[in-house]
Amino acid sequence: MAVLVPGWRVAERAARAKGAGPGEDRVVVLDDGDGVHCAAVIDGVTDKSGRDYGGASGGALAADRVAQTLATLPSGVSVAEAVAAVSAELMELRRKWSVAEDDLLAPAAVAAVVWPRRKLVWRVGDVHVALGHRDGGWRRHAGGKLIDTVLAGARAAYLHCLLLQGERPEDLAAGDPGRALIRPVLERQAVLANRDDAGPFGYGLLDGRPVPERFVETFALTDDVCEVVLASDGYLGPARTLSGAEAELQVSLRADRLRIMEHAATKAVAAGAESFDDRSYLRLSRRPRRFPS
């Protein structure tokens, strides 16, 4: 006689760079034969330092280090312990490359992690999360932070001004004076990260420094949750399917390669690139599986 046991499996996954090269997003799936026990989408922060990390970017190095750390965490570790372990490894990464502990342009990443057997998802940063319920409900926990909204809005407003003054969209995309306008803040905004005293502009970041509890979010995988979607902010949100996420993005890109309209961003689609940012997507599905009794 067979026994039906609920198990989590990968339904869809993808990681796509915005242009040439491997990109800075990572999708992690750890499966021990009895189903997925850990899965994550990790988004390496765009490197603004200009440093050479042996041919890799700081964001890629950080994303890889987070992935490696998740794979070596002991069973039973708490969310706080996991975040602390990731932070410790990223601080070690700083030391390896002689990056000061207070450097605001150090290798960094954000991540959302699913622990199916612990019945939870945890997140630090702006990775999109969605939970699908058996009754068809779809609960979205979209990523995003106030500082990005403000900077994207300032950039969009400036580029709109230039367009109305006769500048050509293709010239603005090539030079992106709007990004130049906000660059001083982009290069300093990490001072707002992991600070309880940063007010409404504070946010969580995996960069080696301790992450305050208020920047570590958790979402329960109750018994009626049958799907989980994680998507980096290279997608517009946590769509129900990968094809849906791609379709939403492509419609938006065709309408607005400058990224100054409905989905304003801090950068345009660069020449030769297919999107404005790397993007990654993971959908896990819980389905009963048959095991011998």
Please give the structure tokens belonging to residue 152: 């994207």
- Which tokens hold the place of 190? 């990490």
Q: How far apart are CA 253 and CA 251, in angstroms?
A: 6
Is 90 exceeded by the pLDDT of residue 237?
yes
Among all chains, which residue has been given the structure tokens 């312990």? 81
**Model pLDDT for residues 46-105, shown as the tens digit of each residue:** 888 888 899 899 999 999 999 999 999 998 999 999 999 999 999 999 999 999 988 999
Between the alpha carbon of residue 275 and those of residues 182, 234, 244, 249, 258, the distances in Å are 20, 8, 16, 9, 10
Structure tokens at 210: 């301790």
Distance CA 61, CA 291 (A): 40
- Amino acid identity at 161: C
Are residues 232 and 41 in contact, defined by beta-carbon separation less than 8 angstroms?
yes
How many Cβ atoms from other residues are within 10 Å of residue 45's Cβ? 23
Please state, in angstroms and as integers, the Cα–Cα distance from residue 213 to each residue in 108, 167, 203, 204, following that order.
18, 46, 11, 9
Please state, in angstroms and rounded to a whole number, the distance separating the CA atoms of residues 257 and 264.
10
Looking at residue 6, what is its pLDDT? 59
The whole-angstrom separation of Cα 227 and Cα 239 is 12
Mean pLDDT of the chain: 93
Best CA proximity match to 110, nearest among 129, 134, 126, 99? 126
pLDDT tens, position by position, 152-208 = 999 999 999 999 999 999 999 999 999 999 999 999 999 999 999 999 999 999 999
pLDDT (0 to 100) of residue 291: 45
Threshold 0.75, pTM exceeds = yes
Give me 111's structure tokens.
């991540």
Residue 84 sits at φ, ψ, to 5 deg, of -65, -40
Work out the average pLDDT over 257-277: 94
Please say if the pLDDT value at position 5 is more than 60.
Answer: no
CB 195 within 8 A of CB 202: yes
Q: Is the pLDDT of residue 12 over 50?
A: yes
For the cut 50, the answer to whether the pLDDT of residue 293 exceeds it is no
The predicted structure's pLDDT at residue 289: 52
pLDDT at 243 over 50: yes
